[in-house]
């Protein structure tokens, strides 16, 4: 149990930060409202909600939403079980913490899907959402929307007129709006790719170790 304690602490910390940010934005911003952080044009808080995947993408209607949320739950359970096995095997900490980041991010968005429709009323451009409204939430259990807010339009320019096909059109990077849980998943996946590409897992080392 001691071996899993630190990964669990990391998971809990990510979930707390993620939910505190989401609850604050949900209850203090109108849908679509945007502010520039410290006056910076490339770092903004832009409140929106999505019904489906990460970074504001969507996946089908009601059936698609149900399938996606259910798949997230199943995948999260599998990730945690695998991470627990790695901990017991004494796998490298970077790999274990990478899985913890992915798991925490997935659970963070699952919480939105499961509970936010019940806990909050609908956010609109004209009304702030409140927790536990007397009239009830905006959606049934399992059908809540994921709260997104981080927006980093690092490059905002226009393609030169002389370029074929795209000349004169606007170009913006990075145009996706995401949340803390999405960032945790992304960082975890990147670290896993780096870990498995450049660090040999301990299980592989044990297999290749010659027997005396």
The catalytic site residues sit at 148, 182
Cα gap 89→72, rounded to integer Å:
26
Residue listed under structure tokens 């040999």: 200
Q: How far is CA 33 from the centre of its chain?
A: 20
Render 20-74 in DSSP notation, one character per residue: HHHHHHHHHS-TT-EEEGGG-TT-EEEEEEESSSGGG----SHHHHHHHHHHHHH
Contact call for residues 202 and 122 (beta carbons, < 8 A):
no
Instruction: Tell me whether residue 44 is exposed, middle or buried, using C-beta atoms within 10 angstroms of its C-beta: 0 to 12, 13 to 18, 19 or more.
Output: middle
Cα gap 92→99, rounded to integer Å:
11
Compute the radius of gyration of the chain from its Cα atoms.
21
């Amino acid at each position: 149990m001691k071996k899993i304690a630190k990964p669990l602490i990391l998971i809990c910390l990510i979930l707390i930060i993620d939910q505190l940010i989401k609850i604050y934005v949900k209850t203090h911003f109108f849908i679509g409202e945007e502010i520039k952080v410290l006056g910076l044009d490339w770092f903004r808080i832009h409140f929106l909600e999505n019904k489906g995947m990460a970074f504001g993408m969507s996946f089908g209607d009601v059936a698609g939403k149900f399938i996606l949320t259910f798949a997230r739950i199943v995948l999260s359970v599998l990730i945690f079980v695998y991470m627990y096995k790695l901990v017991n095997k004494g796998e490298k900490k970077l790999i274990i913490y990478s899985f913890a980041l992915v798991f925490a991010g997935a659970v963070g968005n699952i919480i939105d899907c499961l509970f936010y429709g019940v806990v909050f009323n609908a956010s609109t451009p004209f009304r702030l959402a409140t927790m536990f409204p007397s009239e009830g939430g905006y959606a049934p259990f399992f059908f809540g929307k994921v709260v997104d807010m981080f927006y980093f339009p690092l490059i905002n320019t226009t393609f030169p007129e002389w370029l074929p096909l795209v000349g004169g059109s606007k170009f913006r990077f990075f145009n996706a709006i995401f949340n803390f849980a999405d960032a945790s998943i992304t960082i975890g996946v990147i670290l896993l790719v780096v870990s498995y590409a450049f660090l040999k897992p301990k299980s592989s080392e044990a297999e290749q170790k010659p027997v005396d």
